Amino acid sequence: MTARTITYRDAVHEALREALRGDERVFLMGEDVGYYGGAYACSKGLIQEFGEERIRDAPLSESGFVGAGIGAALGGMRPIVEIMTVNFSLLALDQIVNNAATLRHMSGGQLSVPLVIRMATGAGRQLAAQHSHSLECWFAHVPGIKVVAPATIEDARGMLRTALADPDPVIIFEHATLYNEQGELPETDDYAMDIESARISRSGGDITLITYGGSLQKTMAAAEGLAKDGIDCEVIDLRSLRPIDDATIMASLAKTHRAVIVDEGWRSVGLAAEISARISEQAFFDLDGPVARVCSVEVPIPYPRHLETAATPQPDKIAAAAREVLRR
């Protein structure tokens, strides 16, 4: 199979364009998605191709345009709503949590909300606390929605297609540091990707490193560094945060017997804590030591580069945690 090199941004752009071309019910709505081309240039040129009816610039009212997306989905459309950054999604929590996630249940299955919400997340761009947090676990806490975090070019290209086919709301978190990253995309007639399963990104037998999104590359770098010292790491890219693929995690632990969870969210009451609890419940007797967590320091994400780096998971911190687990 042939492959081509593209950026994560281009992969998202291709996925959007394919969706708009393939289904006239699909439209894109959000702040600056039109003539500006999107805050991260993912929709550049789409308004010229598809027009203002299908590429809709929204006012600065997340609650308003997410609510409009929910209404359009109820009416039979397939809206893709882009929220500029996860921090701004808090302005639409009522619409997402109290409406989109609940309407199927509250209507006794009569209503369906086939809505896709895309948003940038994460630190690493010196945009300080109001634009840099990782709040994926807030949404993963809520029944009625699926939550995915494409960490690779292939997933960035393929997850949107599967999300649009889902009858219920799907939230796609794109780590903002990934947009410029390049990778190989296999040429295929069907780019659709599973949005409910984890992936083994690196096979190994000594310890399992579990992560997702923007932390995958850092975790892989830590694993490669540890390999030089003879430590063979298995790396799991969760990909889906709701549902979580317990089976893949537990199968890996049955082999390695040790785990480190890497999560750019905060440690307290976070996704890493949830996965650690699941491991304790389902694989306790497979463990040869306590599960370790590498998370962001419990402060608002700082603006200065050195403090932002110090506050978030980095390869050296991940490697140090893995070595400590292996010493126990």
What is 9-20 written as a DSSP string?
HHHHHHHHHHHH
d(Cα 62, Cα 68) in Å, to the nearest integer? 10
The architecture in CATH of the region 199-327 reads 3-Layer(aba) Sandwich (3.40)
Tokens of 280: 């304790």
Q: At what angle do helices 8-22 and 153-165 cross, to 10 degrees?
A: 30
The percent of residues in the chain predicted with pLDDT above 90, rounded, is 97
Extents of the domains making up the chain = 3-186, 199-327
pTM for the complete prediction?
Answer: 0.97
pLDDT for position 188:
86
Q: Reply yes or no on whether 13 is catalytic.
A: no
pLDDT for position 189:
80
- 3-186 and 199-327: same fold? yes
d(Cα 138, Cα 106) in Å, to the nearest integer? 21
d(Cα 328, Cα 325) in Å, to the nearest integer? 5
**Catalytic entry in 13, 14, 31, 62:** 62
pLDDT for position 260:
98
φ, ψ (nearest 5 deg) of residue 296: -75, 145
Tokens of 44: 């550049």
Are 79 and 55 in contact by the 8 Å Cβ rule? The answer is: no
Q: What is the pLDDT of residues 38-91, one digit of tens each?
A: 999 999 999 999 999 999 999 999 999 999 999 999 999 999 999 999 999 999
Are 294 and 260 in contact by the 8 Å Cβ rule? The answer is: yes
Residue recorded with tokens 């590429």:
55
Per-residue pLDDT for 1 more than 80? no
**Catalytic entry in 13, 31, 82, 131:** 131
The architecture in CATH of the region 3-186 reads 3-Layer(aba) Sandwich (3.40)
Are 61 and 84 in contact by the 8 Å Cβ rule? The answer is: no
φ, ψ (nearest 5 deg) of residue 185: -115, 115
Q: What is the pLDDT of residues 143-168, one digit of tens each?
A: 999 999 999 999 999 999 999 999 99
Distance of CA 58 to the CA centre of its chain: 23
φ, ψ (nearest 5 deg) of residue 54: -110, -15
Q: Reply yes or no on whether 141 is catalytic.
A: no
Across 180-207, average pLDDT: 94
Tell me how many degrees the CA angle 166-213-241 measures, rounded to the nearest 5: 45
Tokens of 218: 């850092």
Across 194-218, average pLDDT: 98
